Amino acid sequence: MSVQSTVKRRTAPEIRARKNGEPIVMLTSYHAHTAALVDRYCDIILVGDSLGNVMHGFETTVPVTLEMMILQGHAVMRGSQHALVVVDMPFGSYEASKEQAFHSAARILKETHCGAVKLEGGERMAQTVAFLSERGIPVMGHIGLTPQSINTLGSFRAQGREEGSWQPIENDARAIAQAGAFAVVVEAVAEPLARKITETIEIPTIGIGASVACDGQVLVLEDMLGLSPRTPKFVRRYGNLGPMIEAAIAGYASDVRTRKFPGPEHVYGMKAKS
Ligand code: KIV
């Protein structure tokens, strides 16, 4: 017996076909409830390893584990119906060999039911991207600033701000596209470089701090909602939920302390005897 879902999700090939088309909208989510909201408006939901910073308070994404990504990836799949869900491969789960990458990516797909994985790195990861793509695993690349390399980079600095430093990043973009990735995140690179890469490669570029020249945009949901203590310069805040949440918590705490909550309308009465 075949089981067919009535709701059709976006697929990696559909996103690949959006090159030079309508801009691709992507946001992060790590939970079922935010995934349900993001799902109404976005083509792609990214279960980013930024969950290490946002949910767990780590300084970097380096401590994030495969188990964390699988747990939150599954939650996002349960909360969403339409968007393509892409789950980040965390640091240490794919760099050692293409076989290691396949085992980790296969676990992510099998255990979350998501539609694709994302991994960081350009030329050095091209063979791995090809290995996964040829074996049924859609891969999104991530070049420019690659936060998992913070310990070798030294800081989260924008990349390619002098024309002399463009070549390696252009090579990374080309290598990832030729290896079979269906799209590539381009993080924190200067606008003229983002434009040149977007014009040169055949797969959609999804910018974060990389200008409107890209084929789509991604932001961390909590950053654009005003829920993160520190946000990079390129984030536009579309909401300021931090103070609203704090006011709600303060109101509740005050009502409990002054016995105003629960009020009579929140209390069960006794059932009349029949
Ligand atoms: O982990 C993440 O949220 C990301 C985006 C910032 C692109 O990789």
Q: Is residue 51 part of a domain?
A: yes
Residue 1: predicted pLDDT: 61
**Ligand 1, atom 5: closest residue by C-alpha:** 48
Ligand 1 centroid–CA 186 distance in Å is: 10
Same domain for 220 and 103: yes
**Ligand 1, atom 3: closest residue by C-alpha:** 48
Same domain for 273 and 183: no
Ligand 1 centroid–CA 122 distance in Å is: 16
Same domain for 148 and 137: yes
Residue 137: predicted pLDDT: 98
Same domain for 143 and 50: yes
Q: Is residue 66 part of a domain?
A: yes
Vertex 252, ends 250 and 253: CA angle to 5°? 65
Same domain for 256 and 153: no
Q: Is residue 273 part of a domain?
A: yes
Same domain for 262 and 200: no
Q: Is 187 a catalytic residue?
A: yes
Same domain for 257 and 233: no
Catalytic residue, chosen from 59, 162, 187, 222, is: 187
Per-residue pLDDT tens digits for 106-137: 999 999 999 999 999 999 999 999 999 999 99
Residue 86: predicted pLDDT: 99
Which residue, among 225, 269, 116, 233, has the nearest Cα to 181 in the 3D structure? 116
Same domain for 27 and 72: yes
Q: Residues 198, 23: contact at Cβ < 8 Å?
A: no
Number of domains making up the chain: 2
Mean pLDDT, rounded, of the chain: 96
Q: Kindly state the tokens that stand for 167.
A: 């070549």
Same domain for 203 and 126: yes
Residue 272: predicted pLDDT: 87
Residue 5: predicted pLDDT: 65
Residue 162: predicted pLDDT: 86
Same domain for 250 and 119: no
**Ligand 1, atom 2: closest residue by C-alpha:** 48
Residue 34: predicted pLDDT: 98
The residues, ordered by sequence, that sit 6+ positions from 130 with a Cβ below 8 Å of its Cβ are 179, 180
Helix (H), strand (E), coil (C) string for the chain: CCCCCCCCCCCHHHHHCCCCCCCEEEEECCCHHHHHHHHCCCCEEEECCCHHHHCCCCCCCCCCCHHHHHHHHHHHHHHCCCCEEEEECCCCCCCCCHHHHHHHHHHHHHHHCCCEEECCECHHHHHHHHHHHHCCCCEEEEEECCHHHHHHHCCCCCECCCHHHHHHHHHHHHHHHHCCCCEEEEECECHHHHHHHHHHCCCCEEEECCCCCCCEEEECHHHHCCCCCCCCCCCCCCCCHHHHHHHHHHHHHHHHHCCCCCCHHHCCCCCCCC
Ligand 1 pocket by C-beta < 6 Å: which residues?
Answer: 28, 46, 48-50, 88, 142, 185, 208, 218, 220
Same domain for 252 and 139: no
Ligand 1 atom closest to the CA of 147, numbered from 1: 8
For residue 152, the enclosing domain spans 12-239
Counting as low any pLDDT under 50, the low residues of the chain are none
